[in-house]
């Protein structure tokens, strides 16, 4: 089995991760996660518990990662080498047995001993439990989870679905690992509101006014925020990608729906951060037909009226307010000038302006040609992967709230 090709976006380049695997029925997902981390640039070394080797052969993990697999404690003290020469440890899936041993210092296998040694060297340890829902809801798991958090381990919440505590989505877990290695949980305790995706305004039951936004930028921002410890509410229109599993997701359809959701949320909760990355439709028909308009009708005139401004629907202003502006201009000065006007109009702290309709950046694309505009300065990033832009924005958030 060959190593998977790297993505263009490789935030884990140069990072070495020791990957712990335990005897969970979700073990098959570990191979997918390991290869996803490799695609993002990481070098992976796998360690396994004895029970894990009964479920999946160590040779399969060796083929998947092109690295020797450690599955027993030997005189070569591999755990010490890992603590000295790796950047982090990930245990996924993690069983309650393994978590309990780590919590109370029982290093009787390669995984638990390596985790304890990594903690002793000050390296981050990230665990992703996957287990029966009744075990997950037990007081024993709660006690162990709290203990692990106390000693500095990041316990990633499982994906609760169909009454099961499942292995998290690979994309989300890989992003959490990346963010934890590079930034830690620097936004822990903060509350954030994010909007994402387009909205739809109906002309009739089958025809709409909308735009090509996929919602990728908003989803990446929400994912970056929650990966770094923030509590995130995501109000989103019809997305073309899955929202993060860790966020509280509020789906809407029209711009009015999105504005009302923002109004209600900001009335009920006091947010530290609000990021309006959504692309709501700016106009809607004055009157929508309740029935499909016959196509044989020929020419059709529709009167459009402005939709509510979602960012102006806030009831209680968060500490930091970030807006987005999409413009069809390649003139950087004009882009910055228009964004500055919106910054003042919205009373925002930051406007993220990007050009759409040109080249490789914009709607439905992985890249964005972006400028960040504050009241007293601006910074143009050029064409960047949207994940890079998202991290840049949230880094500014983290730096600002720290002061």
- Is residue 372 pLDDT above 90, yes or no? yes
The closest of 42, 34, 25, 41 to 1, measured between CA atoms, is 34
pLDDT at residue 298, rounded to an integer: 81
What's the whole-number mean pLDDT along residues 221-231? 97
Fold of 16-183: Rossmann fold (3.40.50)
CA-based torsion, 111, 58, 37, 15: positive or negative? positive
CATH 3.40.50.10300 in the chain is located at 191-401
- Partner residues linked to 322 by β-bridges: 275, 350
Residue ranges, comma separated, of all CATH 3.40.50.1950 domains in the chain are 16-183
Cβ neighbors of 155 (< 8 A, separation 6 or more) are: 99, 127, 129, 145, 148, 149
The reported pLDDT for the residue numbered 267 is 97
Question: At 249, is the pLDDT very low, low, confident or very high (cuts 50, 70, 90)?
Answer: very high
Tell me the pLDDT band of 297, cut-offs 50, 70 and 90.
confident
Q: Is the pLDDT of residue 290 over 90?
A: yes
Residue 273 has pLDDT above 70, yes or no: yes
**Nearest one of 20, 52, 12, 55 to 36, comparing CA atoms:** 12
Bridge-based pairing of strands 125-129 and 88-94 is parallel
pLDDT tens for 107-141 read 999 999 999 999 999 999 999 999 999 999 999 99
Whether residue 333 is predicted with pLDDT greater than 60 in this model: the reply is: yes
pLDDT at 2 over 70: no
Average pLDDT over the chain, rounded to an integer: 94
In sequence order, the 6+-apart residues with CB closer than 8 A to the CB of 313 are 259, 260, 262, 263, 266
pLDDT grade for 169, boundaries at 50, 70 and 90: very high
Q: Taking the model in full, what pTM does it have?
A: 0.94
What mean pLDDT is predicted for residues 15-36? 97
Predicted local confidence at residue 358, as pLDDT: 62
Collapsing DSSP to helix, strand or coil, 71 comes out as coil
CATH number given to 191-401: 3.40.50.10300
At 314-330, the pLDDT tens digits run 999 999 999 999 988 88
């Amino acid at each position: 089995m060959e190593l998977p090709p790297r993505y263009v976006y490789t935030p884990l380049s140069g990072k070495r991760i020791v990957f712990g695997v335990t005897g969970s029925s979700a073990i098959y997902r570990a191979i997918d996660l390991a290869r996803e981390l490799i695609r993002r640039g990481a070098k992976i070394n796998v360690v396994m518990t004895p029970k894990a080797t009964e479920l999946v052969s160590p040779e399969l993990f060796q083929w998947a990662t092109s690295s020797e697999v450690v599955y027993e404690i030997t005189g070569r003290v591999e755990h010490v080498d890992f603590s000295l020469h790796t950047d982090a440890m990930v245990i996924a899936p993690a069983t309650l047995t393994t978590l309990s041993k780590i919590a109370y210092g029982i290093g009787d296998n390669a995984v638990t001993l390596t985790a304890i040694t990594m903690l002793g060297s000050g390296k981050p340890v990230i665990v992703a439990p996957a287990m029966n829902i009744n075990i997950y809801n037990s007081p024993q798991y709660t006690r162990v989870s709290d203990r692990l958090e106390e000693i500095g381990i990041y316990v990633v919440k499982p994906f609760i679905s169909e009454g099961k505590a499942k292995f998290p989505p690979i994309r989300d877990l890989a992003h959490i690992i990346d963010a934890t290695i590079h930034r830690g949980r620097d936004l822990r305790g903060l509350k954030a509101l994010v909007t994402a995706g387009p909205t739809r305004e109906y002309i009739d039951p089958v025809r709409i006014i909308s735009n090509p936004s996929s919602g990728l930028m908003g989803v990446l921002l929400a994912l970056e925020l929650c990966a770094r410890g923030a509590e995130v509410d995501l109000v989103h229109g019809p997305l073309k990608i899955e929202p993060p599993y860790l966020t509280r997701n509020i789906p809407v359809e029209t711009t009015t729906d999105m504005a009302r959701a923002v109004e209600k949320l900001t009335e009920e909760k006091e947010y530290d951060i609000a990021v309006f990355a959504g692309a709501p439709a700016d106009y809607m028909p004055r009157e929508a037909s309740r029935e499909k308009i016959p196509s044989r009708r020929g020419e059709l005139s529709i009167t459009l009226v402005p939709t509510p401004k979602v960012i102006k629907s806030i009831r209680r202003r968060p500490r930091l307010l970030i807006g987005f502006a999409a413009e069809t201009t390649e003139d950087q000065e004009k882009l910055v000038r228009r964004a500055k006007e919106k910054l003042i109009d919205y009373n925002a702290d930051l406007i993220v302006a990007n050009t759409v309709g040109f080249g490789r950046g914009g709607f439905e694309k992985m890249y964005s040609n972006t400028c960040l505009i504050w009241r007293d300065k601006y910074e143009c990033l050029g064409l960047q992967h949207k994940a890079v832009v998202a991290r840049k924005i949230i880094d500014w958030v983290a730096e600002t709230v720290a002061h």
